[in-house]
Chains A and B, each alone.
Chain A
Amino acid sequence: MQYLPQIAFLVIVAAATYFLYRRITQIRKNIFLGKASNRTDRKSERWKTMLLVALGQKKMFKRIIPAFLHLLIYVGFLVINLEVLEFLIDGFAGTHRIFAPVLGDFYTVLINVFEFLTVGVLFSCIAFLIRRNVLKVKRFSGEEMRKWPTLDANLILIIETVLMLAILTMNATDMLIQGQDEHYAQTGEFFFSSFLVPLFEGMSLSTLIFVERFAWWFHIIGILGFAIYVTYSKHLHIALAFPNTWYSNLESKGKIENMPVVTNEVKMMLGMPTEGAGDPPAEVARFGAKDVNDLSWVNIMNAYSCTECGRCTSQCPANITGKKLSPRKVMMATRDRAEEVGASIAKGGKGLEDGKSLLGDFITKEEINACTSCNACVEACPVNIDPLSIILEMRRYVAMEESGSPASWNGMFQNIETSFSPWKFAPTDRFKWADDLKKDA
């Protein structure tokens, strides 16, 4: 019986690790439904981008209030989780606050720092809940934010709030138990949780121990459960922001990725030497993107890294003026489709051959046709997600596989083909602008 809590702890940690591992493996498979990407060049620049944008939150600071609130949660998350190490050792070894006697006064300082951050996280979570539900900040609403995305956002904030309250409850009751039960080491005074002490004063020792133990178990199971939840949630950005920024597009934002397959064909048509001319033509599944497997894996990782903050959509000129396009929705749809296809394949289902596709069932032509390629969404994203590249790949599919571009665009294509200008002017009139000048010359 003595070892029962330890066995229970071991089972819970093992089960959580298993589910987490399974889920991570699945997400990895979903991401790699995408095509290969060659973004492994310029490594030092990539590390620098990751350090500045993900670790350093550089792009968050364009909006100072959410940046500050987010920073509190972010630092809290990074630092408070150090305490999980003690939770794990205590849980496995059956000890209690194993570092307290070892670290002495420093332990008191450490826990006080953690508590300070805990209060910071609490403050931010409540502020964020108010921004979402009371102030109703505009970018948190929108067509794509109904139901699950809104519930997800609120759940994350509520879970974090409750986890923080559990830490403070645990510390407050611990202080009361110290001196009454020798299993509880002396830790010194914890500043913030001491405000909660009056709530628990007068309780019997066994009640206090029950509350303390309950809070301890609640916190550790909560953290493990939350870790699994995160993999189903927009909150996954806490992990994927790092690789996502590492694999950022480092080229000028105006540059659209080249299609070497097309280059070969064009050069052959013009009778120019082509690279690898003797090789059999590479198998081209499709020009452009109809479904998630036509995108690059970086596009799909982008989708999993999206935390649905809506900065992209709030800056999108098409969205601002009432068009259906929302860059955030493009990312959410890409993720949803990758999840759907991945889950189907895992079950031995039809996968990509289910009769559905990203373009058509999740994203419409009207949406992709509304894009001005202005890069405002790309610039706005705090974790360097690139919705534009997905939109452009879909336009390629529509233009080259379906010849389904808007009629005016087909007209423009024809003008370029026949008169080498997007407008229908005679090529011989091209230099007429200089006529008046030449007269005076």
Chain B
Amino acid sequence: MGWLAVWQRNFRVWKKLAGPSILGNLADPLLYMLGLGYGLGQFLGEVQGVPYLTFLAAGTLAYSVMNSATFETLYSAFSRMHVQKTWEAILNTPLTLNDVLMGEWLWAASKSLLSGVAILVVIWALGLYEDFALSLLLLPVILLTGLCFSGMGLMVNAKSPNYDFFLYYFTLVITPMILLAGVFYPTNALPAWLAVVADWLPLTHAIQLARPLVLGQLPEAAFWHGSVLLAYGVAGYAIGLRWTRRRLLR
């Protein structure tokens, strides 16, 4: 349970800045969702049988969870590891590197859970859902998505020499993922070869769980999609732990 003290440390810092943090997490995805949903939605009419804004809701939810988890494990965790030496200070106590990274992993997942819930509240408020009970199942999807991208983020963090390095990850991984995973349009609109690529992206799996739940259906192959998310998260965490050990404890 050593990780809990690390989680609590981050929570205590977050509490001091909770207002701007929540606003920042909420405002950006919300502006995209409403701007594109209402604006572009005028021209598009219905997508997959629902208004464009409703279609966009699930994608926005998934990508805002992804963004929140990624920012926390890249920029914020890097500050703690490299700039503030917080991790080094913790490693002088009985806690281990596994405690530190587990605390960071679960913290980033918790923070992205909050981001996801904020979007979910907007979905509820605007009535963009079909079935309230099914929309509650979005909560575990948010959690899995958060764990997935937090784990991957820790892996990137471990290899980063400075903040600029993260731009590679955003430009080469995150942005293409947003465009290919079905946030803005259904993946069956992609050419076949790109659709194959999209099938490998974790965000695709998050959206394939989230979208049916918003639209009032049970997702197909839910177990498979959930497993892929978890696998990416656990693999990212395990590799991140290994690389961070090599970075700090040698």
- Please say whether chains A and B are actual partners in one complex: no
Residues in B lying within 8 Å of A, measured CB to CB: none
Question: Which of A's residues lie within 8 Å of B, judged by CB?
Answer: none
